[in-house]
Amino acid sequence: MATVCTLAWVHGLVQGVGFRYSTQREGLKLGLTGYARNMDDGSVEVLACGEAQQVEKLIAWLKAGGPRSARVDKVLTEPHQPDRQWADFSIRY
């Protein structure tokens, strides 16, 4: 299986509600690598790399609203060619 990477920006009430931790747990459960990090504009950036079907599952989870404590207004995505390999799914600061 070819590895694909997708970069996503999640907008809404997604900071201060455990969004990055829930995304990390979901990404690890799906066998993905990448990261979740808070952005200065209040959004969360998510990089997900792995089997295309698993990456799509994570993006669908993000679009469905992520954790219960969050409110997702929109998710923007684009294909991404990372300049490095990720060993696991982490939280970046």
Model pTM score? 0.95
- Angle, CA of 74, 85 and 64, to the nearest 5°: 20
- 75-90 pLDDT, tens per residue? 999 999 988 888 999 9
The active-site residue, picked from 20, 37, 68, 71, is 20
> What does the alpha-carbon distance between residue 48 and residue 50 come to, in Å, rounded to a whole number?
7
Residue 38 catalytic? yes
CATH number of 3-91: 3.30.70.100
Residue 71 catalytic? no
- 45-79 pLDDT, tens per residue? 999 999 999 999 999 999 999 988 999 999 999 99
In contact, 91 and 22? CB cutoff 8 Å: no
